[in-house]
Chains A and B, each alone.
Chain A
Amino acid sequence: MAAVLNISGLSVDFATLRGPLRVLDGVDFSLEEGEILGLVGESGSGKSVSAMTVMGLLPDTARIAAGSIRLGGRELVGLGRKAMRPLRGRDMAMIFQEPMTSLNPVLTVGFQIAETRMLHFGESEPAAMRKAVEMMEAVGIPDPAARALDYPHQLSGGMRQRIMIAIAMAGEPRLLIADEPTTALDVTIQAQILDLMLDLREHTGTAILMITHDMGVIAQMADRVAVMYAGQIVEQAGADDLFDRPAHPYTNRLLQSIPSARHRVDRLKIIPGTTPSPRDFATGCRFQPRCEEALPRCQTEAQALADYAPNRLVRCWRCFEPAEGVA
């Protein structure tokens, strides 16, 4: 079965005053049908840029320098705006962090959902509006027929995010890209939204690319996880493997530095230093300046994402030479 999404060797450059800046470097990952892939990383890791690139929403100052993006086998790199438009909303849909800025304030929420149906399925407005109300019910909005006539500002944050999801799902996409969908929501509302997304995945079989910095959200949602650091994927594994036995030093340290509400430690393990900006990516391993298990070769030789175990990839020299002395 062709993967729903297949990214290979993707590199993206941003134009700056001082020349092009590579913010994504040789990124590979794929999504199977009905799978939830968690893309996790901190600021500057390139996770949001990845999402934008897939949807073709990069600003004019950015360009895809290399690589391929295949949606259901179809190559997206190089497609012009015209060719991309019918795909967006239909084959792939995206939901964002701030529903207030992604919803049109002067259109009713029902209409915004119906628009997707009218555009991509050619339905008439009345038929599309009926479907919109159905979708609103499916995403858990009470009294959907009445709410369909509301404007975005009349709804709460959690409701608006549900509308975003309804708009996205109205196109019956095979791929849903969710970029920090719950970061701006309160934690009890977040729980509801995540629950909803899992329900939808079960009922419709839509694959979800879940992008977030929150490891807890990833743990709850993802089947597989790809960890990004400094524009590259540094580890990729099934969720269980990743959380039980993290391989890459960054993943390991990251998990240890998050304070848990379930159990308390006296002192958090920290990762020294700061996340680098694209201008300052190190040569060799990009995590090496902050890594406490670095080998001498980590400073000079960059590594590729390599097989570590069945269905596990890791970009690290140390992982393959655990016994050697530290640099």
Chain B
Amino acid sequence: MAGIFSRLSAVWHSDLALRFRRNRNAMIGSILVSLVLFVALFGGLFAPYPYDRINMAVIWEPPGAEFLMGTDALGRDVFSRILIGARISMLVAASVLAITFVIGVTLGMIAGYFGGWADTLIMRTVDIIFAFPELILAILVAAVIGTGTGTVIVALSLVWWPGIARLTRSLVLSLREEMYIDAAISSGTHPARILLRHLLPNIASPLIVRASVGVGFIVMAEATLSFLGIGVQEPTPTWGGMIRDGLDSLRTDPHLALYSSLALGITIIGFNMLGDGLRDLFDPKMGER
């Protein structure tokens, strides 16, 4: 037992932790992100009302004791919907991150390490996809395979993996000349092993930063698609959809649009700050001696 505490204490006082704690961005960012993740995971438990409970008697209630953030056009509790909306946003974000990173990192490493025709093939594909404006592409995909959460995930993944591939490739290109790669080749190490054991762990840091900042973009894109009516469908609440619904009544009953925008904003800011903070942390450290 004491062993665990002393290990934790050692980590808490380690150089990395010290710098993390001093880094304002990282600290604030991680607090916000933790909040959002907590809500996404457990928010449903705290929702005072079911998110789809329609009650035409209490439409457009202003925020008050009964409905913390008021109600919308169908009398649904905005607070509960915001809580559930967090789950949707994080679900989409996690899915898209997972898919794009698996595909993007793998292809990027192959392109960067082996070069040759594999590199050409992969990078030209990346260039082609980059030629399309992201949103248009997402809308196109939705038009083809229909609307819904699944569509959003597929569309955003398709649009996002090239960026990850390109980043990974350039990271690999710069690391490929390191002497420990030469040493591994001289030791008879198999190329797949070199990719997994030598390259991947050493490119992890910038990729983590990219992931963190990327969440902000994904959440925003998902909100945009929902705002346009292409994404997640009613009655499942998404912040984007709620913003759209609230826009018409902005003058009279601003609470719907306001709170959902706030939720969206806090999430994006939180992930961006965390990403910035992590980037500073992972950067070559300022000389301690």
Contact = CB atoms under 8 A, between A and B. Distances in A.
B289 interface: yes
A96 interface: no
A23 B18 contact: no
A253 B289 CA distance: 26
Contact of A21 (B22, B286, B289): B289
A273 to B, nearest CB: 18
B15 interface: yes
A278 B289 contact: yes
A239 to B, nearest CB: 31
A308 interface: no
B210 interface: no
Nearest to B15: A17
A14 B289 contact: yes
Contacts of B18: 17
B19 A279 contact: no
B283 interface: no
B289 A16 contact: yes
Interface string B16-54: 001100100000000000000000000000000000000
B288 interface: yes
A59 to B, nearest CB: 8
Interface residues of A, number: 11
Contact of A61 (B19, B22, B286): B286
Contacts of A278: 289
Contacts of B19: 17
Q: Is the interface of A mostly helix, strand, loop or mixed?
A: mixed
A23 B288 CA distance: 11
A199 to B, nearest CB: 36
Interface residues of B, number: 8
Interface string A8-35: 0000001011000101000000000000
Interface string A266-298: 000000000001110000000000000000000
Contacts of A17: 15, 18-19, 22, 288
Contacts of A14: 287-289
B15 A23 contact: no
Nearest to B288: A16
A19 to B, nearest CB: 11
Contacts of B287: 14, 59, 61
A279 B288 CA distance: 10
B11 to A, nearest CB: 15
Nearest to A21: B289
A245 B36 CA distance: 72
A176 to B, nearest CB: 26
Contacts of A21: 288-289
A21 B287 CA distance: 12
Nearest to A278: B289
Interface string A288-320: 000000000000000000000000000000000
A61 B286 CA distance: 10
A300 B22 CA distance: 38
Interface string B178-198: 000000000000000000000
Interface string A48-63: 0000000000010100
A224 B286 CA distance: 35
B15 A279 contact: no
A277 B15 contact: no
10 contacts: A14-B287, A14-B288, A16-B288, A16-B289, A17-B15, A17-B288, A21-B288, A44-B289, A59-B287, A61-B287
Given A14-B287, A17-B19, 17 more contacts: A14-B288, A14-B289, A16-B288, A16-B289, A17-B15, A17-B18, A17-B22, A17-B288, A21-B288, A21-B289, A23-B289, A44-B289, A59-B287, A61-B287, A277-B289, A278-B289, A279-B289
Q: Which 5 A-B pairs have the closest CB atoms?
A: A16-B288, A17-B18, A278-B289, A277-B289, A21-B289
